[in-house]
A and B are shown apart, each in its own frame.
Chain A
Amino acid sequence: QQPVQSPQAVILREGEDAVINCSSSKALYSVHWYRQKHGEAPVFLMILLKGGEQKGHEKISASFNEKKQQSSLYLTASQLSYSGTYFCGTERSGGYQKVTFGIGTKLQVIP
């Protein structure tokens, strides 16, 4: 089942902060976050695993509430390069990885 992302779109000025949310109605093993710029491949940002382990880039932070099956991606002091579409992907088990992606959140950072 596809995770639900919110908001669907957001416009920020450089230096502002944003939070993107992802929720699932099913129990999750992990949540992935990716950013895709127009015409490019999605790029891995962060993975949050059941049990609290996190792996990702230093400048990206995220949280995973296992009880609520919700994850949030925190973008602080936004830069023009943060613009793109952010996808969360969810895995329901730790076996063979079937990652189901949300519809995406379009983020535009303006000067």
Chain B
Amino acid sequence: DAGVTQSPTHLIKTRGQQVTLRCSPKSGHDTVSWYQQALGQGPQFIFQYYEEEERQRGNFPDRFSGHQFPNYSSELNVNALWLGDSALYLCASSLAPGRNHYGYTFGSGTRLTVV
């Protein structure tokens, strides 16, 4: 049973560029959440997608946007990158609200470095 798959694993971008990160949720999961984890910190919630709509959003600027596809996979887009965006980006999948809540399954993350 495949878990959460994220791509790419590592990425180096230049300040001002744009980046797209991808996530395939665990089989059977239909909800995807994105987190940013800076070194030595806990994951910070970016947003959550369910039924192809953004359902919850954390305190991140509009430069951060996302999308969910009919097959439940998701993308995170970040525009106008700046140095502070360097972090590990984690995708977490789960079952929809109201269903058997068994926590998140996290992917291994994408390490983004902005230079």
Contacts and interface: CB of A to CB of B under 8 A. Distances in A.
Interface of A: 2, 30, 32, 34, 40-44, 46-47, 49, 55, 87, 94-104
B72 interface: no
Given A34-B106, A87-B42, A101-B45, 13 more contacts: A2-B42, A30-B101, A42-B43, A42-B90, A43-B106, A44-B102, A47-B101, A87-B43, A97-B31, A97-B56, A99-B33, A99-B45, A102-B42
Contacts of B90: 41-42
Contact of A55 (B41, B56, B98, B103): B103
B7 interface: no
A59 B40 CA distance: 27
B106 A103 contact: no
Chain B: interface residue count, which band? 20 to 34
Interface centre among B33, B101, B103 (most CB of A within 10 A): B103
Nearest to A96: B55
Contacts of B107: 41
Contacts of A103: 41-42
Given A44-B103, A47-B103, A101 B43 contact: yes
B108 A40 contact: yes
Contact of B48 (A2, A43, A98): A98
B88 to A, nearest CB: 9
Nearest to B54: A96
Contacts of A44: 102-106
A98 B33 CA distance: 8
B102 A96 contact: no
The 6 closest A-B pairs by CB, nearest first: A101-B42, A41-B106, A96-B55, A44-B103, A98-B56, A47-B103
Nearest to A100: B45
A104 B41 CA distance: 7
B28 interface: no
Nearest to B57: A98
Interface string B45-87: 1001010000110100000000000000000000000000000
